[in-house]
């Protein structure tokens, strides 16, 4: 039988056998002091789990892990061969086709908002996943985690104002922040109205109020530069006012938000949003004008999507082809990933509709093709509908003309830039003959109104989510989506601006 | 979220560690603490319009946490074999009768400082087991040791951390750890 330490560990790990459980129970009864010891291990175990770092690259694992099977020499020789093949291929291609490199796309962003808890912004609202360009962030309340491209991670607690200067520098004019600066981001600078903190690879907190500014060092060392004083060096456990009384104080880590805690907090916040969404689903499904709603919460492994619209009896469930299940907007929320030329969901919307609204939650990974399908009628012609994203990032509702008449494209301005790739976006489009317009929305906000020249009814028929079947023989145009969807709905009425805004919340 | 919802969420988050501590006392079952804290958050937010957020939220959160902890503890242990259920009952009784309840709220920030002071091998072990979620048998395989030896090593690490926390607390708080 294992010793007491091993029995306690098995209890904590949830791997006790029944014989071990019996043994541990007997020991607890015969040795009263063992109970307190077990509970102390239990408390410590729970606390250690709660200190799990947010970012896995903090974790070191050198000596304990098995040795790699490849030596450096193997890797370099393979890499050298690969480089030769690539160079040869590039030379042959350029020589044969006289290709010139296209101008590369660029981004002005210097950081990314990675997480947020109960965020309310005074400046323009931003959501986790948004790349951030230099400029002022004004956070009214909540906690935001920002990762600078140079590697520093910063938590700001509202109310706060932070001006992003570059990938290695920011200015804090109000509020509290805490920063974790790994060795590769050494030299990260935070300016305040009264001085500059230069980090030498460490963790520190900064509190900037109208009356005072204080820096607290939790780990490592920072340099404090002030215009009228010599540079001061602050070490682990020390704190100091940036101006005025420069006595060395004791750092107080507990008064700052911790990078380790935001993970649990944002998980709870996400679960709360997920529960709210679940609770609102039945009302949405009962909407009299709703013909089709896929919530993508079908059993994992299912190859069909159930239509939850109460009044959508004439529209059958969608059939999944190729696409695979993945995680949606929140942990526990499911979505379908479209990657391959074959991936699609087939469905049929019989008859005609005079008015139409469609809404989808979509995560676009890239725009690799001229047209990237959201929802497309099969083939083209006679009032068919094509909702898609063009290669240059515009969302388009294309409506085919009837009896050979010219089709009409209703485009948004460029919406999907590389900064938006990989993030969930809510899209909606309304074909509104009463208002004689098509309206496009992104994340609940009206993007564009486009006048309708023809208000004839639409004929969707057999259609596909995330792909297109043009029914030609001898080759089919490739228009599949590279991304994921986690909710799709279709109404035969025009939703108002406020109704679309609610869907996107 | 409306303003009151936001305030309620902030009140909860300010008491997050307090809730975890109460959960530990009433549900000493591995892996339950975080589930309980999340459920308390959901139920607290579902009824947020009823709460007067200007008063101390601790009594309310303590009651909610105790109820939810008992409920989840029962649900979790009910699925276990009878002999494990008896052990779980015994441990819960010990936890409830304990003279010094868990001091999670005070100790968690000290623990972070103590972790930095661990010898390298001990930190690696914590990282593998607690942060990389690798079980003790798999760790034992990787380092060519017996699984029991890994269990004892983890036990020693936890005891060292406990000693560090107590030393630090006696000396005056996290900053001195």
Q: Are residues B112 and B87 both part of a single domain?
A: no
Are the C-beta atoms of residues B107 and B115 closer than 8 Å to each other?
no
- Measured CA to CA, the distance from residue B130 to residue A6 in angstroms comes to 16
Average pLDDT over every residue of B68-91: 90
In this prediction, residue B171 carries a pLDDT of 58
Global ipTM: 0.92
Q: Which of B97, B132, B148 is the C-terminal boundary of a domain?
A: B97
For chain B, say whether A430 makes contact (Cβ under 8 Å). no
Query: If we measure between CA atoms, which residue out of A300, A329, A302 comes closest to residue A318?
Result: A302
Segment holding A199, helix H or strand E: strand A195-199
Average pLDDT over every residue of A341-346: 90
For chain B, say whether A326 makes contact (Cβ under 8 Å). no
pLDDT of residue B130 exceeding 50? yes
Average pLDDT over every residue of A113-128: 85
Residues 4-63 of A with CB under 8 A from B: 5-6, 8-16, 18, 21-22, 24-25, 28-29, 35-36, 38-53, 56, 59-63
Count of alpha carbons within 13 Å of A78, Cβ hemisphere only?
6
More confident residue, A266 or A99: A266
**Long-range contacts of the stretch A75-79 (C-beta < 8 A, 24+):** none
Handedness of CA A412, A415, A417, A422 (dihedral sign): negative
**Which residues make Cβ contacts (< 8 Å) with residue A50, sequence separation at least 6?**
A260, A264, B20, B33, B34, B108
**Cα A266 → chain centroid:** 12
pLDDT band at B100 (very low <50, low <70, confident <90, very high): low
In this prediction, residue B117 carries a pLDDT of 85
Q: Residue B150's domain spans which residues?
A: 104-176
Query: If we measure between CA atoms, which residue out of A371, A377, A393, A355 comes closest to residue A465?
Result: A377
Q: Are residues A364 and A463 both part of a single domain?
A: yes
pLDDT band at A355 (very low <50, low <70, confident <90, very high): very high
Q: Are residues B57 and B108 both part of a single domain?
A: no
pLDDT of residue A291 exceeding 70? yes
Are the C-beta atoms of residues B145 and B151 closer than 8 Å to each other?
no
Is residue A282 classed as helix, strand or coil in its secondary structure? helix
Look at A59 and B131 and tell me if their CB atoms are within 8 Å. Answer: yes
- Measured CA to CA, the distance from residue A64 to residue B125 in angstroms comes to 8
pLDDT of residue A267 exceeding 70? yes
In a domain, A147, yes or no: yes
Average pLDDT over every residue of A288-293: 96
Report the CATH number at residue A370.
2.60.120.200
pLDDT band at A270 (very low <50, low <70, confident <90, very high): confident
In a domain, A30, yes or no: yes
pLDDT of residue A372 exceeding 60? yes
In a domain, A185, yes or no: yes
Q: Which residue of chain A comes nearest to B1, CA vs CA?
A: A118
Are the C-beta atoms of residues A469 and A478 closer than 8 Å to each other?
no
Min Cα–Cα distance to chain B from A262, Å: 10
Q: Are residues B92 and B128 both part of a single domain?
A: no
Q: How many domains does chain B have?
A: 2
Min Cα–Cα distance to chain A from B128, Å: 7
Burial class of A209 by CB neighbour count within 10 A (0 to 12, 13 to 18, 19+) = exposed
pLDDT band at B54 (very low <50, low <70, confident <90, very high): confident
More confident residue, A465 or B16: A465
Q: Are residues A385 and A463 both part of a single domain?
A: yes
Entry field: residues in chain B: 177
Q: Are residues B33 and B93 both part of a single domain?
A: yes
Q: Are residues B85 and B144 both part of a single domain?
A: no
Are the C-beta atoms of residues A397 and A440 closer than 8 Å to each other?
yes
pLDDT of residue A497 exceeding 90? yes
Report the CATH number at residue B10.
1.10.1740
Look at B90 and A36 and tell me if their CB atoms are within 8 Å. Answer: no
Q: Are residues B87 and B148 both part of a single domain?
A: no
In this prediction, residue A209 carries a pLDDT of 83
Are the C-beta atoms of residues B104 and B20 closer than 8 Å to each other?
yes
Report the CATH number at residue B171.
1.10.10.10
For chain B, say whether A219 makes contact (Cβ under 8 Å). yes
Query: If we measure between CA atoms, which residue out of A371, A372, A374, A364 comes closest to residue A419?
Result: A364
Q: Are residues A371 and A468 both part of a single domain?
A: yes
Average pLDDT over every residue of A340-365: 94
Residues 450-469 of A with CB under 8 A from B: none
- Chain segment A14-27, per-residue pLDDT in tens: 888 999 999 999 99
pLDDT band at A64 (very low <50, low <70, confident <90, very high): very low
Q: Are residues B80 and B131 both part of a single domain?
A: no
In a domain, A22, yes or no: yes
Burial class of A444 by CB neighbour count within 10 A (0 to 12, 13 to 18, 19+) = middle
Q: Are residues A302 and A435 both part of a single domain?
A: yes
- Chain segment A477-489, per-residue pLDDT in tens: 788 999 999 999 9
Q: Are residues A237 and A346 both part of a single domain?
A: no
In this prediction, residue A259 carries a pLDDT of 64
Bridge partners (DSSP) of residue A239 are A216, A249
Q: Are residues B81 and B155 both part of a single domain?
A: no
Residues 360-419 of A with CB under 8 A from B: none
More confident residue, A72 or A387: A387
In this prediction, residue A380 carries a pLDDT of 83
Report the CATH number at residue A130.
2.60.120.1440
Look at B109 and A253 and tell me if their CB atoms are within 8 Å. Answer: yes
Q: Are residues A240 and A115 both part of a single domain?
A: yes
Q: Are residues B108 and B159 both part of a single domain?
A: yes
Lowest pLDDT segment from A98-102, A150-154, A225-229, B166-170: A98-102
In this prediction, residue A390 carries a pLDDT of 94
- Measured CA to CA, the distance from residue A155 to residue A266 in angstroms comes to 13
Find chain B residues with C-beta within 8 A of A331's C-beta. none
pLDDT of residue B111 exceeding 80? yes
Query: If we measure between CA atoms, which residue out of A181, A115, A108, A170 comes closest to residue A137?
Result: A170
Inter-CA distances, A361 with A293, A357, A370, A504, Å: 12, 14, 21, 8
pLDDT of residue A447 exceeding 90? yes
Q: How many domains does chain A have?
A: 3
Segment holding A413, helix H or strand E: strand A408-414
Locate A24 and state its tokens: 């541990």
Is residue A481 classed as helix, strand or coil in its secondary structure? coil
- Measured CA to CA, the distance from residue A116 to residue A125 in angstroms comes to 12
Q: Are residues A206 and A297 both part of a single domain?
A: no
Q: Residue A360's domain spans which residues?
A: 286-503
In this prediction, residue A399 carries a pLDDT of 94
pLDDT of residue A502 exceeding 70? yes
pLDDT of residue A431 exceeding 90? yes
Q: Are residues A364 and A471 both part of a single domain?
A: yes
Question: Whole-number mean pLDDT of chain A?
Answer: 84
Q: Are residues B67 and B16 both part of a single domain?
A: yes
Average pLDDT over every residue of A247-274: 79
Q: Are residues A209 and A293 both part of a single domain?
A: no
Got the DSSP string for A241-252?
ESSS----EE--
Entry field: residues in chain A: 505
Q: Are residues B45 and B115 both part of a single domain?
A: no
- For chain A, what percent of residues have pLDDT higher than 90? 49
Q: Which of B43, B78, B97 is the C-terminal boundary of a domain?
A: B97
- Measured CA to CA, the distance from residue A170 to residue A206 in angstroms comes to 12
More confident residue, A448 or A370: A448
Q: Are residues A236 and A185 both part of a single domain?
A: yes
More confident residue, A56 or B15: B15
Look at B94 and A28 and tell me if their CB atoms are within 8 Å. Answer: yes
Query: If we measure between CA atoms, which residue out of A367, A361, A376 comes closest to residue A425?
Result: A361
Percent helix, strand and coil across chain B, each to the nearest 5:
80, 0, 20
Min Cα–Cα distance to chain B from A240, Å: 14
- Measured CA to CA, the distance from residue B176 to residue B165 in angstroms comes to 10
In this prediction, residue A104 carries a pLDDT of 58
Segment holding A425, helix H or strand E: strand A424-432
In a domain, A76, yes or no: no
Q: Are residues A254 and A313 both part of a single domain?
A: no
Residues 120-159 of B with CB under 8 A from A: 121, 123-128, 130-132, 135-136, 139, 142-143, 147-148, 151-152, 154-155, 158
More confident residue, A476 or B20: B20
Lowest pLDDT segment from A16-30, A49-63, A415-429, A450-464: A49-63
pLDDT of residue A80 exceeding 50? no
Lowest pLDDT segment from A105-109, B80-84, B151-155: A105-109
In this prediction, residue A472 carries a pLDDT of 58
Look at A28 and B107 and tell me if their CB atoms are within 8 Å. Answer: no
Q: Are residues A383 and A292 both part of a single domain?
A: yes
Q: Are residues B52 and B137 both part of a single domain?
A: no
SS (H, E, C) A112-151: EEEEEEEEEECCCCCCCCCEECCEEEEEEEEEEEEEECCC
- Chain segment A162-206, per-residue pLDDT in tens: 999 998 899 999 999 999 888 888 889 999 988 899 988 788 999
- Say how many CB pairs under 8 Å bridge A and B: 180
């Amino acid at each position: 039988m294992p010793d007491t330490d091993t029995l306690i560990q098995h209890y904590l790990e949830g791997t006790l056998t029944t014989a071990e459980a019996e043994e541990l129970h007997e020991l607890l009864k015969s040795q009263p002091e063992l109970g307190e010891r077990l509970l102390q291990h239990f408390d410590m175990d729970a606390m250690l789990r709660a200190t799990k770092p947010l970012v896995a690259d903090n974790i070191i694992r050198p000596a304990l892990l098995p040795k790699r099977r490849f030596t450096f020499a193997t890797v370099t020789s393979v890499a050298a061969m690969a480089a030769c093949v690539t160079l040869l291929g590039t030379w042959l291609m350029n020589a044969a086709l006289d290709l010139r490199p296209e101008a590369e796309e660029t981004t002005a962003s210097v950081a990314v908002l990675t997480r947020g808890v109960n965020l309310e912004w005074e400046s323009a609202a931003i959501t986790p996943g948004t790349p951030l360009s230099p400029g002022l962030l004004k956070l009214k309340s909540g906690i935001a985690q920002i990762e600078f491209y140079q590697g520093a991670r910063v938590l700001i607690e509202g109310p706060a104002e932070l001006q992003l200067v570059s990938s290695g520098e920011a200015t804090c004019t109000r509020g509290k922040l805490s920063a974790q600066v790994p060795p590769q981001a050494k030299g990260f600078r935070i300016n305040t109205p009264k001085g500059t903190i230069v980090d030498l690879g460490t963790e520190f907190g900064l509190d900037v109020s109208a009356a005072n500014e204080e820096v607290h060092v939790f780990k490592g060392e920072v340099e404090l530069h002030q215009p009228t004083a010599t540079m001061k060096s602050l070490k682990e456990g020390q704190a100091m006012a940036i101006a005025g009384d420069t006595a060395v104080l004791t750092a107080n880590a507990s008064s700052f938000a911790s990078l380790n805690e935001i993970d649990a907090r944002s998980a709870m916040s996400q679960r709360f949003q997920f529960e709210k969404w679940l609770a609102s689903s039945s009302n949405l499904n009962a909407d009299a004008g709703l013909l089709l709603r896929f919530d993508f919460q079908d059993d994992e492994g299912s190859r069909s999507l159930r239509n939850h619209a109460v009044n959508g009896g004439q529209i059958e469930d969608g059939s999944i082809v190729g696409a695979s299940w993945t995680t949606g907007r929140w942990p526990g929320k499911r979505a379908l990933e479209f990657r391959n030329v074959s991936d699609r969901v087939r469905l049929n919307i019989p008859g005609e509709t005079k008015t139409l609204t469609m809404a989808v939650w979509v995560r676009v990974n890239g725009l690799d093709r001229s047209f990237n399908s959201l929802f497309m009628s099969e083939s083209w012609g006679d009032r068919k509908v094509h909702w898609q994203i063009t290669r240059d990032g515009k969302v388009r509702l294309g409506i085919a003309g009837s009896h050979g008449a010219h089709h009409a494209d209703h485009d948004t301005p460029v919406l999907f830039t590389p900064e938006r790739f990989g993030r969930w976006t809510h899209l909606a489009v309304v074909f509104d003959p009463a208002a004689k317009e098509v309206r496009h929305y992104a994340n609940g906000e009206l993007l564009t109104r486009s006048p309708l020249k023809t208000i004839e009814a639409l004929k969707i028929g057999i259609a596909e989510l995330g792909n297109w079947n043009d029914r030609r023989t001898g080759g089919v145009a490739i228009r599949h989506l590279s991304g994921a969807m986690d909710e799709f709905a279709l109404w035969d009425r025009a939703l108002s601006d406020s109704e679309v805004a609610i869907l996107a919340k | 979220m409306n303003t009151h919802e936001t305030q309620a969420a902030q009140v909860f988050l300010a008491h997050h560690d307090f809730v975890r501590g109460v959960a530990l006392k009433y549900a000493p079952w591995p892996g339950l603490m975080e589930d309980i804290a999340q459920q308390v958050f959901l139920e607290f937010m579902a009824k947020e319009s009823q709460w007067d957020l200007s008063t101390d939220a601790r009594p309310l959160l303590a009651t909610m946490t105790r109820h939810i902890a008992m409920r989840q503890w029962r649900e979790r242990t009910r699925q276990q074999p009878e002999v494990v259920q008896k052990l779980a009952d015994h441990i819960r009784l010990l936890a409830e009768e304990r003279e010094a309840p868990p001091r999670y709220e005070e100790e968690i920030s000290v623990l972070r400082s103590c972790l930095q002071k661990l010898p390298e091998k001990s930190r690696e072990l914590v990282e593998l087991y607690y942060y990389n979620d690798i079980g003790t048998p798999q760790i034992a395989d990787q380092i060519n040791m017996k699984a029991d030896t890994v269990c004892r090593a983890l036990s020693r690490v936890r005891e060292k951390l406990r000693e560090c926390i107590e030393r630090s607390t006696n000396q005056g708080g996290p900053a001195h750890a």
